Structure 1
């Protein structure tokens, strides 16, 4: 099995848009979520994607729509290599998860990959809006737990404190949160820390500083957690190219 350091992959960035392109990878990763709308396209091999408890087997030409905040994993099938693109979009569109096989939509997707322009993104989103429905909302308690954890991911409130705040048994709070989000509060916190770390790495912060800023005990813990949720090392991610770069 390939390791994260061995994978041929690139990260290309534009304001409000990030493209991850990965080739011939057998690297798995943990269930996680993103603050952005995520849209994946399979180029070669197969991927087993599980999103909010629903399983999809993706093949070349397939597109998967993953709503912002939806827990998911997209891992290789029986250790076989696969190649794919993932687009992460800052979009307010409330699109529901969907597995799509459409030659025309796949063509629009590849146009975004090639051009990375606002017009190509808008064309893809317009086509998806016609095809994909809206997602479900979280219950108020789960929304408030998310907000509490995101308010201070470095020193978050404990589960006991949250349970007392919402007048719930700790077990009930965990069960409700997982039913709504697909993640335990602990996993959600790890995902939030990794997403914050990605933002700081994109901004050019030093990796050692990012580990501390994100709330990890040390750089080793940060590296291990980052790889387990992204299938990329922090250094690989930090080296991603901005479309506005001149070099």
Structure 2
């Protein structure tokens, strides 16, 4: 079994382009737990096969395929039959996307009815953008990202309102990363049975309250790691009781170790 720390991975970021992040992973069998991102996610399959469960539907991707995952859509992208797979994942800030798409506004939500794209020219456009990143050519990177974005089958919709219960749970969990209330406490506060609370939240968000809390914690941890905070401090700041719990949860939801994410490279046993 290959340890996550031994999988070659890089996370590309540039302070001049805070709206963009790129992940590149090579020869990986690592699976993800179901999660979502606040950004628009665009994946490119470079090697092997991938099964993507996105918004309740299953898609099979091969080399040369792109997949577009809208913000806040629960998904998982995992290897098929244990195959090794290599891929890029591009994450674009939603506000930047809306500002660079015609006739959009910040109150809209991006979506797509065709998440998988089989288009040789568009795939090459994606690879051309990736090739610019090591050169730190920020103007060319921005232009290429805009071209790619405007070529995607994106639509915008007015976000559906969550139920009052789910909205309350989201806000309660987001504000309580260090000391979250128990499900029993939340059920009491919402005047409903715990099972009903969980079912309502999952129907509205596609996630259980526990998964949502973990995603919020990992999102916060990524922010602090990008800012340069020490890994040991980040685990505590994100609400994890110990480093092993932080490490395991981070790997389950990102398929990368906290150190890989912070340093943007694969980690060997010697480090």
Report which stretch shifted further, 138-147 or 172-181. Answer: 138-147
Whether the 8 Å CA contact 2:174–2:216 is kept in 1: the answer is: yes
Which of 128, 131, 145 is the equivalent residue of 1:111? 128
Whether the 8 Å CA contact 1:19–1:87 is kept in 2: the answer is: yes
TM-score by length of 1: 0.90
1:4 matched residue in structure 2 = 4
Which of 132, 141, 146 is the equivalent residue of 2:154? 132
Report which stretch shifted further, 211-220 or 131-140. Answer: 131-140
CA distance in 2, matches of 1:110, 1:100: 14
| Structure 2 counterparts to residues 84-95 of structure 1, below 5 A | 84-92=87-95, 93=98, 94-95=109-110
CA distance in 2, matches of 1:143, 1:108: 39
Equivalent pairs, count: 239
What SS does the aligned partner of 1:79 have? Answer: coil
CA distance in 1, matches of 2:156, 2:59: 19
CA distance in 2, matches of 1:240, 1:144: 36
Q: Which has the larger radius of gyration?
A: 2
What SS does the aligned partner of 1:95 have? Answer: strand
CA distance in 2, matches of 1:138, 1:8: 41
Residue 169 of structure 1 deviates from its aligned partner by 2.9
| Structure 2 counterparts to residues 186-225 of structure 1, below 5 A | 186-225=210-249
| Structure 2 counterparts to residues 61-80 of structure 1, below 5 A | 61-80=64-83
Whether the 8 Å CA contact 2:47–2:63 is kept in 1: the answer is: yes
RMSD over aligned Cα, in angstroms?
Answer: 1.8
Whether the 8 Å CA contact 2:224–2:234 is kept in 1: the answer is: yes
CA distance in 2, matches of 1:68, 1:85: 17
CA distance in 2, matches of 1:157, 1:178: 18
Q: Deviations over 1:130-185 (max 9, x none)?
A: x2333663523323322221122112233233334444332222112111221100
1:51 matched residue in structure 2 = 54
Which of 111, 123, 148 is the equivalent residue of 1:96? 111
Q: Structure 2: which 5+ runs fail to align?
A: 99-108, 134-140, 266-271
Q: Structure 1: which 5+ runs fail to align?
A: 242-247
Which of 254, 263, 271 is the equivalent residue of 1:230? 254
1:82 counterpart = 2:85: yes
CA distance in 1, matches of 2:67, 2:40: 11
Whether the 8 Å CA contact 1:138–1:181 is kept in 2: the answer is: no
Which of structure 1's runs of 4+ aligned residues deviate more than 6 A? Answer: none
2:20 matched residue in structure 1 = 17
User: Structure 1 residues 138 and 7 mapped into 2: Cα distance closer, same or farther (>3 Å)?
Assistant: farther
